[in-house]
Amino acid sequence: MIGLNPDVIIGLTDEETLTDIAEKTEIPTIGIYPDGMFDESFYTSLQLVGDILGEGEHVNSVIDSIKGWEEELNLLAGNIPEDEKPSVYTGAVSYRGAHGFEGTYSQYPPFMAINAVNVVDETGEEGAFIVDLEKVTMWDPDIIFLNPANMNLVNDDYEKNKAFYKNLTAVKNKQIHTQIPYNYNWTNMELAIANAFYAGKVIYPQQFSEIDPVEKADEIFTIMLGQPFYDRMAADGYEFRRIAIGE
């Protein structure tokens, strides 16, 4: 960092580490702490970065777009009666390493953005954790979403435990879909928002009938990252689609 000699360092790590970096490099160091894709702390962090870089006007337009997507999701999914919603589960979630089907996420942000009925929320857990597969059997979710990056682990377990998977309603009805992984050291908010639109399309097909998840993803990527890249992501196996366990 000293060799690169930037005018400012922006970090997402703890304050002690940032202070140490500032003292050793003698370069102004700023910490930002966004928490959640539609959280006020995310907007505050973006505004701070925009002010530092002299791009405040552009950042404000990006924030307006993000708030617009939040409102769009609320309008599409906000008034569906609870008894008309299918139950859902997300698995093969990566956190502190890769996990198979049992790696799940309570209060999963893309589900929360569309008021989905996430079966694991009743555990009282928060964030990523390992769930007992017997609980999944009891919940028997209508729709399952899996991380394509960890399907090798899911499929390996399928070979050992076929009865468990074949008895799940979502497997019988071919209601297994992808969610693109978006946490790696920190959160890729644009992917989380795109995931919410795809999940909405799957869970509430009538309400999201006019949404094309791929077009929406590239709209989000273009505004937040400056370019569309869904095709590049899909070429690496990260795409919105129906999948089959064991194949």
Lowest average pLDDT, out of 63-67, 97-101, 139-143, goes to 97-101
E strands, 38-102, where? 87-91
Average pLDDT over residues 103-131: 95
Mean pLDDT of the chain: 94
pLDDT band of 230, cuts 50, 70, 90: very high
- In words, the CATH class of domain 82-235 is alpha beta
pLDDT of residue 14: 86
- Judged against a pLDDT cut of 70, whether residue 198 lies above it is answered with yes
Q: Which residue has the higher pLDDT, 140 or 5?
A: 140
pLDDT of residue 185: 66
Residue 39 φ then ψ, to 5°: -85, 150
**Conformational region of residue 60, where left means phi above 0, alpha means psi within -120 to 50, and beta covers everything else:** alpha
- Judged against a pLDDT cut of 90, whether residue 1 lies above it is answered with no
pLDDT of residue 97: 86
Give the pLDDT confidence of 36-90 residue by residue, as tens digits: 889 999 999 999 999 999 999 999 999 999 999 999 999 999 899 999 999 999 9
Average pLDDT over residues 211-225: 97
Average pLDDT over residues 215-227: 97
Q: Which helix (H) or strand (E) holds 15?
A: helix 15-25
Q: What is the DSSP letter of 242?
A: B
Please tell me the distance from the alpha carbon of residue 43 to that of residue 60, in angstroms, as a whole number.
9
Average pLDDT over residues 202-220: 98
Q: Where in the chain is the domain with CATH 3.40.50.1980?
A: 82-235
Give the pLDDT confidence of 147-179 residue by residue, as tens digits: 999 999 999 999 999 999 999 999 999 999 999
pLDDT of residue 143: 98
Average pLDDT over residues 4-16: 89
pLDDT of residue 203: 98
pLDDT of residue 2: 81
3-state DSSP call for residue 30? strand
Average pLDDT over residues 88-97: 92
